[in-house]
Structure 1
Amino acid sequence: MFGSRQTGVHAYAKVGMETGVIAASPHKLIVMLFDGALVALNGALNGMRNGDIGEKGKSISKAIMIIDSGLRAALDKNAGGDIAEGLDALYEYMSARLLTANMNNDPAILEEVQRLLTELRDAWNAIADTPAATGAQPTNLASA
């Protein structure tokens, strides 16, 4: 009559995620993209290890979509210069590697992309409290 319990759980999780997105800073949104891609890669690894071709393919496709339509699309190559160009090339490499992992059923490639994304996420988190990331003005200690 009211739907399955699992459906309710998914609906609640979706509302929580949407609320988090609305309230998130641009910096936090990028972290959420990294996290989403990593969750998708975990699903792909599980699908690959369990012989679940559908789960593997769906999860790899989701990771590629997050990398290409989220992380790559968020790059500002004019303002970011060489760093943005380098990240663009790295994201393109990751997407190509994920296609290869899917075709060859190679978990080592998925793990390689996971490591790369984790390193980038950790670096991104390391700058979270800088004035540039928060939008705050730097404190001038000389005038205090």
Structure 2
Amino acid sequence: MSARNPYATYQNNAVNTAAPGELTLMLYNGCLKFIKQAKSAMEEKQIEEKNTAIQKAQNIISELMVTLNMDIPVSNQMMQLYEYINRRLIEANIKNDAAILDEVEGFVVEFRDTWKEAVLLNRKLQHDGRERA
């Protein structure tokens, strides 16, 4: 498969070599991709494609929930937000409501952007630490 599809090979290597923080960033980006696909499918009245895209977004939210470190105090709030997003995704799917997807997309964009800043800050701190050593 990988010999016939170099993009799939690249994606697989990117995931296998990414740092944990970057993997979370990939999950957020994937969730956003599927939300956008669901909105597009809704507009085009493609019910099956909408359903599949929303389920993929839900799977990513579930993965984010499973990987939360519950020893960190903020994780309880994140869990509640992820549960809310998951419920809203279900509701958007049932009601065929793009406005709900817009709301969820806003949350995921905010999480992704915040996480991206944290990854960049962590990378900078690690780099500065190496320069001093």
Identify whether the pair has TM-score above 0.5, normalized to the shorter chain.
Answer: yes
Write the letter of the residue equivalent to 1:75: L
Q: 2:98 aligns with which of 81, 92, 107?
A: 107
Q: Choose which of 126, 130, 133 in structure 2 pairs with 1:136.
A: 126
Instruction: Look up the equivalent residue of 2:47 and give its one-letter code.
Output: I
Q: CA deviation at 1:74?
A: 1.3
Separation in 1, partners of 2:68, 2:42: 31
Measure the CA separation in 2 of the matches of 1:42 and 1:99.
15
Give 1:1-144 correspondences, 5 Å limit.
8=4, 11-68=5-62, 70-78=63-71, 80-81=72-73, 83-131=74-122, 136=126, 139=129
> TM-score, normalised on structure 2?
0.88
- The Cα shift of 1:15 comes to 1.4
Structure 1 unaligned residues grouped into runs of 5+: 1-7
**2:78, 2:106 → 1: CA distance?**
15
Letter in 2 for 1:93: Y
Query: Secondary structure of the residue that 2:119 maps to in structure 1?
Result: coil
Question: Does the C-alpha gap of structure 1 residues 135 and 21 become closer, same or farther in structure 2, counting only changes over 3 Å?
Answer: farther
Q: Determine which structure has more spread, i.e. the larger CA radius of gyration.
A: 1
CA-atom RMSD in angstroms: 2.3
Closer, same or farther in 2 for the Cα pair 1:135/1:71, shift >3 Å?
farther
Q: Which amino acid aligns with 1:96?
A: R
Q: Percent identity?
A: 31
The CA distance in 2 between the partners of 1:92 and 1:135, in whole Å, is 32
SS at match of 2:126: coil
What's the CA shift for 1:136?
Answer: 3.1
> Which consecutive residues of structure 2, in runs of 5 or more, have no partner in the other structure?
none
